[in-house]
Amino acid sequence: MSLTEQREGIEAGRLDMFVDGAFAFILTLLLIGGESIPDSTDKLLHALGGIPAFAICFFQIAFFWHGHVRWRKRCHSADASGRWLSLLLVFFAMIFVYPLHMVFSGVFAWLSGGYLPSNFVVQAPSDMRTLFTCYGLAYACMAGTLTLLFRDAAKVAMRRGLDSLGARREMQIWSVPAVIGLLSALVALLMPLSVPGWMWSIPGMIYWLLFLIGPVTDRFDRCHPQA
């Protein structure tokens, strides 16, 4: 191993440790018990009521973190664009965590008829517009950043004469949630405030389109069997 490769390996390891630590810190912001340990059974049951929302939020954060792990498997170098895009991903994740928790705690409170706790209270239709717009934009920014990371990995692979199909495949996969997040935010912005309350579930239901990741991946695999 040359000195350059050794240095790149050290720099890549430091970047990965920073990103992993940042995502771990973001998860602590979702602690079901809040800032203090419950000191009574009532407070304990109230805290435990936040487990369903916490579980979904945990999965969402882990989803994006694992995307960065998969990028590192495709790109072992420590170039400047990969470094800055990784930092940008952490930046967006720290913004995403707040609307993420508000959305899912509100959803489970609504589904349970208020039995499961939520600190988020909808006071006007404009609250739903703001929440889904912020959520969709943050979601799209994180997925878009991962798309750019895999695009950069593909460029690095081609520059070094290596196979870039795997990175290009991942790039197409992450472009799907990026577009869906933007679509959800756009629907929330354009929806009139006078619509019936149930229609504010539409921006959230748009995320069911994530199933399109499967057909997009299958199409890429058919076009590039060697991937």
Lowest mean pLDDT among 1-15, 37-51, 149-163, 183-197: 1-15
Q: Taking every pair of C-alpha atoms in the chain, what is the biggest distance, in angstroms? A: 65
Q: What per-residue confidence (pLDDT) applies to 104? A: 87
Span 63-76, pLDDT tens digits:
999 999 999 988 87
- % of the chain at pLDDT higher than 90: 46
Q: Give the burial string for 97-125 (b: 16+ CB within 10 Å, else e).
A: bebbbbbbbbbbbeeeeeebbbeeebeeb
How does residue 227 score in pLDDT terms, banded at 50, 70 and 90? Answer: low
**Spatial CA neighbour of 69 closest among 186, 150, 151:** 150
> Is residue 9 scored above 70 in pLDDT?
no
Q: What is the pLDDT of residue 116?
A: 77
Taking alpha carbons only, the member of 62, 202, 61, 45 closest to residue 117 is 45
Please say whether the beta carbons of 93 and 61 come within 8 A: yes
pLDDT one-digit tens code per residue, 127-145: 889 899 999 999 999 999 9
- Average pLDDT over all residues of the chain: 85
Among 72-76, 99-103, 151-155, the range with the most confident prediction by mean pLDDT is 151-155
Q: Would you say 146 and 71 are in contact if contact means Cβ atoms under 8 Å apart? A: yes
Distance of CA 211 to the CA centre of its chain: 16
Q: What is residue 158's predicted lDDT score, i.e. its pLDDT?
A: 86
Asked if pLDDT for residue 35 goes beyond 60, the answer is no
Confidence of residue 38 (pLDDT cuts 50, 70, 90): low
Tokens at 23, concatenated: 């995502």
Least confident window among 75-79, 139-143, 171-175: 75-79
Confirm if 118 and 109 have CB atoms less than 8 A apart.
Answer: yes
